[in-house]
């Protein structure tokens, strides 16, 4: 079946560097994508979303890029901080599926001093 996957299971970056987390999706009909952050012992927390009619969206220190041609998402975190250490999930929302999100397996981001 179709699934959302992540290219890298773990990513280690130095504090202050920029981080890039990648995600491949396979349902070309998906029209909404979300990035979540999950810290240990907590539920996922919404970071940023993007609709399929956009290719870039910026938030506070985060940017999501969407390339529909190759079905690829990325999350860029600027000036990564120790508090950014967590597992990051991308999720795709096929049309007419309500909140039946397809989540990727997750990328663990470790920020070292």
Partner 1 sequence: KAGVTQTPRYLIKTRGQQVTLSCSPISGHRSVSWYQQTPGQGLQFLFEYFSETQRNKGNFPGRFSGRQFSNSRSEMNVSTLELGDSALYLCASSLASGHGELFFGEGSRLTVL
- Applying CB under 8 A, which residues contact partner 1? 32, 34, 36, 41-46, 49, 51, 89, 91, 93, 96-106
Asked whether 81 and 111 are in contact (CB, 8 A), the reply is yes
Instruction: Work out how close the CB of 96 gets to partner 1 at its nearest, in angstroms, rounded to a whole number.
Output: 8
> How do 62-67 and 56-58 pair as beta strands?
antiparallel
Q: Taking the complex as a whole, how short is the minimal distance between the CB of residue 54 and partner 1, in angstroms?
A: 13
Smaller CB separation from partner 1, 65 or 87: 87
Return the H-helix or E-strand segment holding 72: strand 72-77
**Three-class secondary structure of residue 84 per DSSP:** helix
What is the nearest approach in angstroms of partner 1 to the Cβ of residue 15? 27
CB 28 within 8 A of CB 90: no
Residue 100 Cβ vs partner 1, minimum distance, rounded to whole Å: 4
Residue 49 or 61 with smaller CB distance to partner 1: 49
Of the pair 41, 113, the CB lying nearest partner 1 is at 41
Q: Tell me how far apart the terminal alpha carbons of the chain are, to the nearest angstrom.
A: 41
């Amino acid at each position: 079946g179709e699934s959302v996957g992540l290219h890298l299971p773990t990513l280690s970056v130095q504090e202050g560097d920029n981080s890039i987390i990648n995600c491949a999706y396979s349902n070309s009909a998906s029209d909404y994508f979300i990035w979540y952050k999950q810290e240990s012992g907590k539920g996922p927390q919404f970071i940023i979303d993007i609709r399929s009619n956009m290719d870039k969206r910026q938030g506070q220190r985060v940017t999501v890029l969407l390339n529909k041609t190759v079905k690829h998402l990325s999350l860029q975190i600027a000036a990564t901080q120790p508090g950014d250490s967590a597992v990051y999930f991308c999720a795709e929302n096929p049309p007419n599926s309500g909140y039946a999100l397809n989540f990727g397996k997750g990328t663990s981001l470790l920020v070292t001093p």
